[in-house]
């Protein structure tokens, strides 16, 4: 199989391009989609701002630090959502049996599913997150060194990878749950919500779940603690934030296991 890489990717590119065209062809609907997606970002930021109107600091973070946490968390989540967010619809394929079609094609199942759609409407939400991140970088007093700059860029990418892995792991679990698919929303969307919070306020069960098992605290909160040189949340020292990119490695190991187990468990849609 000495196919050049570009020709191996051609079918995926063709599908993604067709998805992009199909979404932009209904102009009115697409415009409303873009506005809704923008609003999702604005409302989520507003949640944080409204809460901070009444308090000066929460869990050791002031408003400036929380905006930076929000920016990193939401930018990396939105990037993951753009690329793999539609894995959420897997239970629909499972119930209707249309997943069997994907099994018949000589390409990896996950690669097919990921490239089967792309949600272009999410670009406006990415824009909101990017603005929040820009503001967060500007208003915080960070002793910038090249290391800090590289670290921030790496963290956005690896956190996006962590969230992508959460989507994949959730999809793997959906092979077993099917009808109870909403349970995985606890990990995916609960995780997104948790990522924007100062993890230092969490009770012990939350630390176990979102601090370590699904390492959400490592996506934005701990890196900001490291960047600002703040003390840690009590259950980890502040410098642990520098190790944040390793969370992506752990989460992808979990995701690979969940996905493989799920795919092997699948018995077909029948009919």
Partner 1 sequence: MTVRHDGQPAQAGPLSGAATWLRVHGRLVAAGWRRGSTYRAAALGGLVANVTFGFLKVSVLTAAVAAGGGELAGYDTRAVIAYAWLSQALLGSVNLFGRIDLAGRIKDGSVAVDLLRPIDLQTSTTAQEVGRALFSLLPRGVPIVVLAVLVGGMRLPTDPLVLGAGLLSALLAVVVSHLVVYLVAATGFWTVETRGLQVFYMVVAGFFAGLFVPVSIFPGWLFALAQATPFPSMLQIPVDLLSGRVAGGAAAGALLVQLAWLVVALVLGQLMTRAGRHRLEVQGG
Q: How far is the CB of 66 from partner 1 (least distance, A)?
A: 11
Spatial CA neighbour of 119 closest among 219, 40, 216: 40
Q: Whose Cβ is closer to partner 1: residue 235's or residue 242's? A: 235
Q: How far is the CB of 78 from partner 1 (least distance, A)?
A: 14
Q: Whose Cβ is closer to partner 1: residue 29's or residue 229's? A: 29
DSSP lists the bridge partners of residue 61 as 58
Q: Whose Cβ is closer to partner 1: residue 193's or residue 266's? A: 193
Spatial CA neighbour of 36 closest among 127, 122, 120, 132: 122
Q: How far is the CB of 148 from partner 1 (least distance, A)?
A: 27
Taking the C-alpha atoms of residue 57 and residue 64, their distance in angstroms, rounded to an integer, is 10
Q: Whose Cβ is closer to partner 1: residue 75's or residue 187's? A: 187
Alpha helices (runs of H) in 118-220, residue ranges in sequence order: 123-139, 146-177, 185-195, 204-206
Radius of gyration of the chain (CA): 20
Q: How far is the CB of 251 from partner 1 (least distance, A)?
A: 17
Helices first, then strands: H and E counts in the chain: 12, 2
Q: Under the rule (CB under 8 A), what is the footprint of partner 1?
A: 26, 28-30, 32-33, 35-37, 39-40, 43-44, 46-47, 50-51, 53-59, 177-187, 189-190, 193-194, 197-198, 201-203, 205-206, 209
């Amino acid at each position: 199989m000495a196919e050049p890489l570009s020709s191996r990717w051609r079918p995926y590119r063709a599908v993604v391009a067709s998805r992009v065209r199909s979404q932009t062809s209904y102009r009115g609907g697409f415009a409303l989609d873009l506005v809704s997606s923008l609003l999702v970002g604005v409302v989520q930021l507003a949640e944080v701002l409204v809460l901070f109107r009444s308090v000066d600091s929460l869990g050791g973070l002031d408003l400036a630090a929380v905006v930076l946490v929000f920016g990193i968390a939401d930018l990396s989540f939105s990037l993951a959502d753009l690329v793999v967010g539609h894995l959420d619809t897997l239970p629909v394929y499972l119930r209707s049996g249309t997943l069997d079609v994907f099994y018949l094609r000589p390409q990896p199942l996950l690669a097919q599913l990921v490239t089967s759609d792309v949600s272009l409407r999410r670009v406006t939400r990415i824009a909101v997150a990017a603005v929040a991140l820009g503001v967060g970088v500007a208003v915080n007093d960070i002793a910038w060194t090249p290391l800090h700059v590289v670290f921030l860029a790496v963290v956005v990418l690896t956190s996006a990878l962590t969230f992508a892995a959460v989507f994949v792991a959730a999809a793997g679990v959906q092979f077993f749950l099917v009808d109870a698919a909403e349970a995985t929303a606890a990990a995916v969307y609960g995780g997104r919500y948790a990522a924007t919070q100062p993890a230092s306020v969490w009770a012990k069960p939350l630390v176990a779940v979102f601090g370590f098992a699904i390492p959400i605290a490592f996506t934005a909160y701990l890196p900001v603690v490291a960047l600002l040189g703040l003390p840690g949340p009590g259950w980890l020292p502040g410098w642990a934030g520098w190790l944040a990119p390793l969370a992506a490695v752990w989460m992808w190991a979990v995701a690979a296991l969940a996905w493989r187990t799920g795919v092997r468990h699948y018995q077909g849609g029948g009919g």
